Amino acid sequence: MRRRSGRLPSTVRLSVLTALLAVFMGWLMLGHAALLPWDPRWYLTAHTAMEVFSVVVAMLVFSTGWHGIGRDMPIRVALLSPTALAVGLLDFGHLMSVAGMPGSAGRGIEFWLLARAVSAAALLVAAFAPRERTVGRRVRGWAVLAALALAALGYWLAVADPLTLPATYVPGQGLTPFKIGCEVVLIALNALAALFLLRRALVTGLRTDRYLAATAAVMALGGVSFATYARPDDVVNLVGHVYKVIAYLCLHRAIWVAAVQAPYLRLQRSERSLAESEAGFRSLMECAPDAILLVGGEGRITMMNARAESLFGVPRETAAGLPLDVLVPAGAGDAELDCRRLYGPAFPADVRRAVMPGGQQVAIVRDLSERRRLERALVEQLTHDALTGLPNRNRILEALDEAIAGARQDGRTLAVLVFDLHEFRKINSGYGYAGGDDVLRECVVRLSGVLAAGDMLARQGGNEFIVVQKHAGQDAATALAEHLLEAVREPFLVGGQRVFLAASVGIALLPDGRCGAHELLQMAQVAMAGARAEGPARYRFHTDAMALAIRERVDMESLLRHAIERNQFALQYQPRVDLASGAVLGVEALVRWRHPVLGLVPPARFIPLAEETGLIDDLDMWVLDEACTRAAAWRAQGLPPLRVSVNLSARQFQQAGLAQRVQAALARSSLPPGCLEIEITESTVMRDTAEAASVLRSLKALGVALSIDDFGTGYSSLSYLKRFPIDVLKIDRSFISDVTADANDAAIARAIIALAHTLNLEAVAEGAETAEQVAFLRENGCDEIQGYYFSPPVWPEQIEAMFARDAAVE
């Protein structure tokens, strides 16, 4: 808070005043009273003037407190202002009892002591009264009655029934011990009150507490004069009356601050706050994005903001006094209504109403026109494809439900066709997504051109479309499918180039039994998958066998996932035999699934599924770990050193960090790298020869052997054999099975063996089952054979038993 220049704060002024009064009283007590210019003849006049002034100030204290601002009053004001009334009346009685006053009656000492005792007690009580506590008019009235009763009691004691009190002054001797003792008690009470009030002032920082502390302190200092004067009319006694007047003025200031100034300042702050709130409310109204209208008790508009002017198209001066329902239809509570413009069309709005404390109503109107437009656009986005403008899957399902209901009611059938473009990814890859978008839009034009009236075309997503043929049987659906396939046979022009695409179509006819849109569309998709599996430009009708195959695949995938989690897999090992010596040099690890109900599930049934679903990753790593662990265990048992070969899937080979995973498996099992052979199919390494070469070199750096499996069935490129660090070529069993009957197979087998030897590679023949095949391979220099002629795949225990028999024979 800023102070006015030239004035000291009230705290400093009070401190200086009290200190000066204390210093002066000390100076007086040191015997310097004779230095003051004083004539006892002035005493009556001066005493009378100061007592009259004290009575007037006491009455002002009472009046100020009684007429304070506010209905409720602080409890200290309610205590001290009636006390001031009683003290003023008693001081008046004391004044009128002084010798020399006209009509003096009674003993002035009773008035004097009672007045000073009441004031000292009131100040002490005020020091402990709760600061926040307030009282109402009734309590204040009772306090005034109590003060009047106390004053009446004092007058009765002093006038009607005087007390027999000891003498307080003896001429020639001075003050009596009784007088001095009374004054000491009053000094102690006032000093105690001053101390407690000062402590409270230091805590609260309130001016009322500071003025009350000064009042009690000055009263205590004045009591020193009344306890030490030599004669009633000397200057020391007179100084005590001066201190009394000063104390009364401090009390008046305290009551004025608490009862008038503080409430007035609060009122000022409230008015400023109210004005600021009103200005803020008006500013908020003007800045609000919604229209706000204030309505009086008669339902007429009293005020509106700028948004309301713009929204309703009417100036606020014109709107003032108009009934609200001219613009906003009548209604109870919050609602969405069509509001009216004074000069224009109606508009949808969200109307909220509230009643203000003064009886006014407020209506807040939010224009919903834009929201409704966005809702329509959102519905359009949710139900239609952004690229082609066709209905999307959600919308076509709704329409299909309606079409199914209509077909059931009319006793006709309908067909759903799912149309899928083949190799569409190559368009996006080769010509960018913009080129792909152009193809899709052109495709929509072509497909729409072959539909009959009433048929519906929708885009399911990507390169799939849905056609609902409302009037269809098998012949009509077949004809439509052929027309759809024919529509995309013509080349598409993309980036100035002619691009040819093919498609597949799946067809589902509405069955007689219960069937919804989702089920019918699913049937068409299953049929499309079947058509796609047969090759491009095919269509297929849905059959129960297709659905059964899909369900079996789903069930098998679930069982396969559980099998990996529950470790239901095991490895069999097929020996690889050296043709020259007949010794077993290695084994190939072959995974088997031992299901508790299905039994031993053949690899051909679950390996392709594992590759499609990505489960092959976990399966490959399990096979690698298990094969390495088993080979290490055989070495520990003293079996001859065997090289265990493990097949890796194309997916595992293409993932980063293959060499690190193989190295970790070798470390876990403590198997020497030379005892492990990694088999990769020819088609796998030929997908990206540069990347394949890098991966093979990283594996070769570990010290493991590398072999190409199924050689001769893939690319059979001779160039990669020179660049890849491989050790073994495995001749596919398809060439070995007819090697003795088919001259071509025999020639291919001889060529592969010769090629392997030329490149310093080992040649291993797979699928050797007869003596004739083995003889052929031996004659042509094949290094090793693997097949049923020597041994089918066997369990680890059988491998151990096999070596045990060989050892016994030796």
Report the range of poorest mean pLDDT among 329-343, 416-430, 436-450, 575-589.
Answer: 329-343
Instruction: Give dist(CA 682, CA 712) in Å, integer.
Output: 8
CATH superfamily assigned to domain 384-522: Reverse transcriptase/Diguanylate cyclase domain (3.30.70.270)
Q: Which residues contact 103 (CB under 8 A, 6 or more apart)?
A: 96
CATH number attached to the domain at 41-266: 1.20.1070
CATH number of the domain at 559-809, out of 3.20.20.450, 3.40.1000.10, 2.30.110.10, 1.10.3720.10?
3.20.20.450
Asked if the model's pLDDT at residue 273 lies above 50, the reply is: yes
pLDDT tier for residue 187 given thresholds of 50, 70 and 90? very high
Both structure tokens of 382 = 């949710």
pTM listed for this prediction:
0.47
Instruction: Give dist(CA 182, CA 178) in Å, integer.
Output: 6
Q: Where are the domains of the chain?
A: 41-266, 288-373, 384-522, 559-809
pLDDT tier for residue 164 given thresholds of 50, 70 and 90? low
Asked if the model's pLDDT at residue 3 lies above 60, the reply is: no
Quote the distance between the C-alpha of residue 391 and its chain's center.
36
* Residue among 4, 13, 8 nearest 250 (CA): 13
> Which position has the higher pLDDT, 175 or 548?
175
> Which position has the higher pLDDT, 805 or 625?
625
Quote the distance between the C-alpha of residue 537 and its chain's center.
52
pLDDT in tens, 434-476: 888 999 999 999 999 999 988 999 998 888 999 999 888 899 9
One-letter amino acid at 84 equals A
DSSP 726-778: --EEEE-HHHHTTTTT-HHHHHHHHHHHHHHHHTT-EEEEE---SHHHHHHHH
Report the range of poorest mean pLDDT among 131-145, 387-401, 622-636.
Answer: 131-145
Asked if the model's pLDDT at residue 332 lies above 70, the reply is: no
Confidence at residue 667, expressed as pLDDT on a 0 to 100 scale: 95
Q: Which three-class secondary structure string do you get for 254-304?
A: HHHHHHHHHHHHHHHHHHHHHHHHHHHHHHHHHHCCCEEEEECCCCEEEEE
Rounded to 5°, angle at Cα 378 from 374 and 381: 140
Confidence at residue 783, expressed as pLDDT on a 0 to 100 scale: 95
**DSSP secondary structure code for residue 391 in this structure:** B
Strands (E) across 477-532 are located at: 492-494, 497-499, 503-509
Q: Which residues contact 149 (CB under 8 A, 6 or more apart)?
A: none
Handedness of CA 608, 612, 617, 618 (dihedral sign): negative
CATH number attached to the domain at 288-373: 3.30.450.20
